[in-house]
Amino acid sequence: MNDAVSYEQQGAVGVITVANPPVNALSHSVRAGIAEALTASAADDTQAVVLCCDGRTFIAGADITEFGKPPQSPSLPDLLVQLDQHPKLTIAAIHGTALGGGFEVALTCNYRLAVNTAKVGLPEVKLGLLPGAGGTQRTPRLAGIPAAIELITSGNPLSAEKAASMKLIDRVVDGDLLAAAMSYAEELAQGDAPLRRASALPLDISGEDRQLIEATRQRLNKKTRGEHAPQRILDCLLAAGEQSFDEALATERSQFMACLSDPQSAALRHMFFAERAAAKIDSLPRNIEPTAVHHVGIIGAGTMGGGIAMCFAQAGIRVTLVDMSDEAVQAGIDKIAGNYAISVKRGRLSEDQVAGFMANITPSSRYSDLAEVDLVIEAVFENLAVKKEVFAELDSICKPGAILASNTSYQSIDEIAAATSRPESVLGMHFFSPANVMKLLEVVQGAASSESVIATAMATGKKIGKVSVLSGMCYGFIGNRMLRHYGREAALCLMEGASPRQIDSAMEHWGMAMGPLAVGDLAGLDIGYKAREQLSEAQKGDPKTYIIADRLVEAGRFGQKSGAGYYRYDPETRARLDDPVALEIIDAARGELGMVPRDISDEEIVDRLTLALANEGARILEEGIAQRASDIDVVYCYGYGFPRFRGGPMHNIEARGIAESVQRLREFQSTLDPDNWQIASLLEDLAASGAGLADYRRD
């Protein structure tokens, strides 16, 4: 047919094979090739046609790179009308992952057969979309409304067995898929099996189904706050029960088009590619091979070290967890066991799985037990002198070639490396708390870190389920360096007159997982207070940025741990409550510095906080600390609760318009403290030239 699709007659069965690496996406050539093959099959003397794929997977969906470009015929919906009306038996033979438009192709075939390792799903919601080629209509007709709600609103894939139990797959096989598909096709043809079309199945929506749709609407209003696609999916599922197939298909199409032109989908598609781009390091030679990591040492069995140990243990990698004394390391092990016990209680893990994970962790109070490990991650107290001592000792103990990583959030990797005789083996691996939950890993490259060490750290991150982002060396690396500017503006908005509730609500309504002051209460206000005690007045900076936090701590309000901080916390429910006492302290602190509170709009709060982030992000980019703007977006979405549907701080200003963002920055420069609003020259340049952030690379 063409390079991407072939058609071959094998006796009574025609075989359409898609070969469009890497994931057989439904690019134009694939759609055109399948259409041509169907026409050929309709005209020859076969009785059935099998649709299968070469390579690692069945069709993994529409070609996401084609979205937003001029449409090319045949469209996927048109192709699926042709497939639906095909005059002969159609059978999808599935291996790998049949996702999105790929699964919609399979659902349009009369019968579906899959190898037992295959997975199927409709993940469009994760891209801010909904299944736009009949998925919201055929799924409920085959599997019922409740199953369709779960599959389509979660976007999570199903195993072949599970899909078969839901009537979405007809037969699960083991071994040679094509051979099994051929005999299934012959069996169906000889048995005069009907042309079973999901489009012709009746769907009687019950009162319970309607209630479930409504209840899901309410639940997702909270869980996926601010996102449009989940609600539109529910509209389509309701239409499936209330309209004819063709009418409901038209409803689905218009809802799909609404999603496609929604900036939320552009942001989520940006994040899909950003996550994959982050794994690529432009400066590394293509042939560089990561070294194998079979055994990891972790120093420090506190919350961080324990969480990191869990990540490795769950990935099947042996861990030696070291702390100062047997008691300290046992306390760490007990905490890990406690975390796992909660997961078992909630049904997320089985006792056997937990036993396997725990067996991968060996406690120790001796550094000498780290002599043979491939990688050590130090997660001790955040103090440079202590870290240097640890690394000097590791240098004398660990085998040549072992990678020595620090989980520091701020300290200089170069100074830590200088405490060893092998700075090329030293780098930062910065996890985010809780380390067993948060997906982000900042891999911090020191001046001497070798290419192989960087490649291994990136690959190891992937192996333990993290999204790894490379950062150059600077104070706070990518994430925490930017956070200081965000936190500064939150503190200043508070000082200038906004309440904690207004600031947090404005940011949460905009999409942040948690507002900045609530995050402060969660992390503990005493931590920043103690850190400031070590600094000179000059180092502490403008008192307006910390006096309120200081006064709260001095009043014994450390945040959630003491029951009160910017808010008061219900001791039973932990609910965040406004607290007149906190408001009085805040007001008194304003008075101390002679500040007269003013009204601040929610829009100003959101703009100040998000633009402060992006402005510092642009500096990080022009200094070459981050490789590309999208890496910064990955850091913020995976490490700091930035809403994925806004695409990260850099995509957010790109979508808003760089010139408009620079204009707003100029307004802040002239109305607020100009020292805080020095505009990154990269943004000025891009605003002047009209070029985009996405393509910017430092020479």
**Is 543 exposed, middle or buried, given 0-12, 13-18 or 19+ CB atoms closer than 10 A?**
middle
Q: Candidates 53-61, 137-145, 469-477, 585-593: pick the segment binding ligand 3HC (CB under 6 A).
A: 53-61
**Is 73 exposed, middle or buried, given 0-12, 13-18 or 19+ CB atoms closer than 10 A?**
exposed
Q: Confirm or reject binding of residue 62 to ligand 3HC (CB under 6 A).
A: yes
**Amino acid symbol at 464:** I
| Residue found under tokens 């790179």 | 65
Q: Is the dihedral of CA 450, 451, 453, 457 positive or negative?
A: positive
What is the smallest separation between the CB atom of 59 and ligand 3HC, expressed in angstroms?
9
Q: Which of 276, 294, 530, 698 binds ligand 3HC (CB under 6 A)?
A: 276
Nearer to ligand 3HC, 155 or 423 (CB): 155
Nearer to ligand 3HC, 65 or 254 (CB): 65
- What number of chain residues touch ligand 3HC (CB under 6 A)? 26
Q: Confirm or reject binding of residue 101 to ligand 3HC (CB under 6 A).
A: yes
Closest alpha carbon to 646 in 229, 267, 129: 267
Q: Candidates 126-134, 299-307, 540-548, 654-662: pick the segment binding ligand 3HC (CB under 6 A).
A: 126-134
Q: Confirm or reject binding of residue 23 to ligand 3HC (CB under 6 A).
A: yes
Give dist(CA 355, CA 296) in Å, integer.
19
Q: Which of 30, 89, 91, 133 binds ligand 3HC (CB under 6 A)?
A: 133
Nearer to ligand 3HC, 273 or 381 (CB): 273
Nearer to ligand 3HC, 5 or 99 (CB): 99
Q: Candidates 5-13, 100-108, 298-306, 417-425: pick the segment binding ligand 3HC (CB under 6 A).
A: 100-108
Cβ atoms of 469 and 443 within 8 Å: the answer is: yes
Q: Which of 30, 106, 115, 127 binds ligand 3HC (CB under 6 A)?
A: 127
Q: Confirm or reject binding of residue 237 to ligand 3HC (CB under 6 A).
A: no
Q: Confirm or reject binding of residue 416 to ligand 3HC (CB under 6 A).
A: no
Nearer to ligand 3HC, 131 or 516 (CB): 131
Give dist(CA 674, CA 695) in Å, integer.
29
| Residue found under tokens 């997961």 | 343
Long-range contacts of 694-699 (CB under 8 A, 24+ apart): 694/270, 694/628, 694/629, 694/630, 694/651, 694/654, 696/621, 696/628, 696/629, 697/282, 697/627, 697/628, 698/621, 698/622, 698/623, 698/624
Closest alpha carbon to 649 in 529, 532, 482, 513: 482
Q: Candidates 18-26, 400-408, 538-546, 662-670: pick the segment binding ligand 3HC (CB under 6 A).
A: 18-26
Q: Candidates 120-128, 238-246, 335-343, 573-581: pick the segment binding ligand 3HC (CB under 6 A).
A: 120-128
Nearer to ligand 3HC, 71 or 571 (CB): 71
Question: Encoding tokens for residue 354?
Answer: 């937990």
Q: Confirm or reject binding of residue 423 to ligand 3HC (CB under 6 A).
A: no
Question: Encoding tokens for residue 556?
Answer: 């014994």
Q: Catalytic: which of 430, 485, 509, 651?
A: 430
Cβ atoms of 59 and 25 within 8 Å: the answer is: yes
What is the smallest separation between the CB atom of 478 and ligand 3HC, expressed in angstroms?
21
Known catalytic membership, residue 28: no
Q: Confirm or reject binding of residue 321 to ligand 3HC (CB under 6 A).
A: no
Cβ atoms of 269 and 67 within 8 Å: the answer is: yes
Q: Confirm or reject binding of residue 22 to ligand 3HC (CB under 6 A).
A: yes
Nearer to ligand 3HC, 279 or 514 (CB): 279
Residue 646's CB: how many other CB atoms inside 10 A? 25
Radius of gyration of the chain (CA): 28
The separation between CA 675 and the C-alpha centre of its own chain, rounded to angstroms, equals: 34
Nearer to ligand 3HC, 136 or 560 (CB): 136
Q: Candidates 21-29, 329-337, 368-376, 420-428: pick the segment binding ligand 3HC (CB under 6 A).
A: 21-29
Q: Confirm or reject binding of residue 207 to ligand 3HC (CB under 6 A).
A: no
The angle, 0 to 180 degrees and rounded to 10, between the axes of the packed helices 629-639 and 602-622 is 130
Q: What is the maximum span of the chain, computed from C-alpha positions, in angstroms?
A: 91
Q: Confirm or reject binding of residue 76 to ligand 3HC (CB under 6 A).
A: yes
Q: Confirm or reject binding of residue 61 to ligand 3HC (CB under 6 A).
A: yes
Q: Confirm or reject binding of residue 236 to ligand 3HC (CB under 6 A).
A: no
Segment (H or E) for 50: strand 48-53
Nearer to ligand 3HC, 109 or 133 (CB): 133
Beta strand segments in 183-317, E = 295-299
Q: Confirm or reject binding of residue 25 to ligand 3HC (CB under 6 A).
A: yes
* Alpha helices (H) in 464-564, listed in sequence order: 477-496, 500-510, 516-523, 525-533, 537-540, 547-554
Q: Which of 18, 33, 34, 63 binds ligand 3HC (CB under 6 A)?
A: 63
Which parts of this chain interact with ligand 3HC (CB under 6 A)? 22-23, 25, 57, 60-65, 76, 97, 99-101, 104, 123-124, 127, 129, 131-133, 135, 273, 276
Residues with a catalytic annotation lie at: 430
